[in-house]
C-alpha cells in the first residue's frame, strides 16, 4: 500500500470528527472520498496530508508514519495536496505560479523569485507542465484573469508540478461548467498516467464525476467509513446512496 490510515480517531474538544477510520490506497488507483457535510472529510484529508496530527491511530505513506509531519515536508516526500496558488498569489502569471511550485519541489524557496525566473531548470519544468495542461498559450496571463475552468486547471497543474507519487485534489471541478468538469477530469487522468503519479485521491461533491472516474469510493458518515467499494458496488447499495449521495448518480456513457 502506498498510503494507509489505520483506526484513525480525532477529537475537537469533546466532538469526535473521526471515529476509527481505516483505509488503504494502492498504487495506480483513483479513490474518491465522499460524504455529507460534517462526515469528517476535511479532518481525514488533514490527517492524510500531515496537516493534522490525529488523536489516535496511524497514517503511513510508503510505510512511514507521517502523523504531524506537515504538508511541506510531506510534499517533498512525494504526497501533495492541490496548492490553490491561484487564490494565494492572484498577481502571479500562469508561468510564475507553476515556477513557484517547481521551486518548492526543488527546495529553492530561500532564493529570490526574480533570480528563479532566470533558472533554466525551473522555467523548463514549469513550461512542460503548462503544455501538458493546455496552459502554455496563457503563460503570461495573470492567474486572477483566467476563466474559472483555467483557474482550476492551473490549481491542479501546480500540484502536478511537484511530481508527486500521491496527489490529493480537493474539489478540482467545483464552480465550473459541466463541459469544463469533464475536460478537467480527462486532462487530470491523462496527466497522472503521463507523469507517473502513483495514486490520486479526489474529494468531490459532483457525484457524476465521482462515479464516472473513480476506481474506488470511500463513503464517510458521522466520522466513520460507511462503505468502501467500486462505483458499481456503491451505486447498488441503496442505504449508502440514501445516507451519503442523496440521489442515484447518472451512469457515465460507454
Residues 6 and 103 placed together within one structural domain of the fold? no
Residue 120 banded pLDDT, cuts 50, 70, 90: confident
Q: Which of 120, 137, 163 is the last residue of a domain?
A: 163
Task: Provide the pLDDT for residue 118.
Answer: 58
Residues 146 and 188 placed together within one structural domain of the fold? no
Residues 59 and 171 placed together within one structural domain of the fold? yes
Section 47-75 average pLDDT: 89
112 has pLDDT over 50: no
Of the candidate ranges 130-134, 154-158, 243-247, the one whose mean pLDDT is the lowest: 243-247
In the chain, the number of structural domains is 2
Residues 233 and 115 placed together within one structural domain of the fold? no
Q: What percent of the chain is predicted at pLDDT more than 90?
A: 44
Task: Provide the pLDDT for residue 57.
Answer: 96
Q: Which of 163, 183, 208 is the last residue of a domain?
A: 163
Residues 171 and 253 placed together within one structural domain of the fold? yes
Residues 120 and 52 placed together within one structural domain of the fold? no
Beta bridge partners of 12: 15
Residues 32 and 105 placed together within one structural domain of the fold? no
Residues 2 and 116 placed together within one structural domain of the fold? no
Section 125-152 average pLDDT: 91
85 has pLDDT over 80: no
Domain of 231, in residue numbers: 1-78+165-254
Q: What is the CATH number of the domain that holds 30?
A: 3.40.50.300
215 has pLDDT over 70: yes
71 has pLDDT over 60: yes
Residues 25 and 46 placed together within one structural domain of the fold? yes
Task: Provide the pLDDT for residue 250.
Answer: 56
Residues 197 and 252 placed together within one structural domain of the fold? yes
Q: Which of 163, 188, 207 is the last residue of a domain?
A: 163
Residues 174 and 253 placed together within one structural domain of the fold? yes
For the ranges 44-58, 71-85, 142-156, 215-229, the one whose mean pLDDT is highest? 215-229
pTM: 0.85
Residues 170 and 159 placed together within one structural domain of the fold? no
Mean pLDDT of the chain, nearest integer: 86
Amino acid at each position: 500500500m502506498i498510503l494507509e490510515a489505520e483506526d484513525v480517531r480525532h477529537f475537537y474538544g469533546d466532538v469526535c470528527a473521526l471515529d476509527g477510520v481505516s483505509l488503504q490506497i494502492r498504487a495506480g488507483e483513483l479513490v474518491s472520498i465522499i460524504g455529507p457535510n460534517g462526515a469528517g472529510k476535511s479532518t481525514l484529508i488533514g490527517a492524510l496530508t500531515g496537516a493534522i496530527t490525529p488523536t489516535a491511530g496511524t497514517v503511513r505513506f510508503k510505510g512511514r508514519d507521517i502523523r504531524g509531519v506537515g504538508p511541506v515536508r510531506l510534499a517533498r516526500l512525494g504526497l501533495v495536496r492541490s496548492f490553490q496558488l491561484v487564490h494565494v498569489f492572484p498577481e502571479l502569471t500562469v508561468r510564475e505560479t507553476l515556477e513557484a511550485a517547481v521551486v518548492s519541489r526543488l527546495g529553492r524557496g530561500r532564493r529570490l523569485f526574480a533570480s528563479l525566473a532566470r533558472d533554466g531548470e525551473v522555467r523548463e519544468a514549469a513550461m512542460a507542465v503548462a503544455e501538458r495542461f493546455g496552459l502554455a498559450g496563457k503563460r503570461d496571463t495573470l492567474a486572477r484573469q483566467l476563466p474559472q475552468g483555467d483557474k482550476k486547471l492551473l490549481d491542479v497543474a501546480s500540484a502536478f508540478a511537484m511530481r508527486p507519487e500521491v496527489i490529493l485534489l480537493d474539489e478540482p471541478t467545483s464552480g465550473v461548467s459541466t463541459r469544463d468538469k469533464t475536460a478537467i477530469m480527462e486532462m487530470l487522468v491523462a496527466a497522472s498516467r503521463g507523469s507517473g503519479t502513483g495514486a490520486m485521491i479526489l474529494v468531490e461533491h459532483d457525484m457524476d464525476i465521482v462515479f464516472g472516474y473513480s476506481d474506488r469510493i470511500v463513503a464517510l458518515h458521522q466520522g466513520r467509513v460507511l462503505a468502501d467499494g467500486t462505483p458499481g458496488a456503491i451505486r447498488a447499495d441503496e442505504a449508502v446512496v440514501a445516507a451519503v449521495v442523496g440521489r442515484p448518480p447518472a451512469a457515465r456513457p460507454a
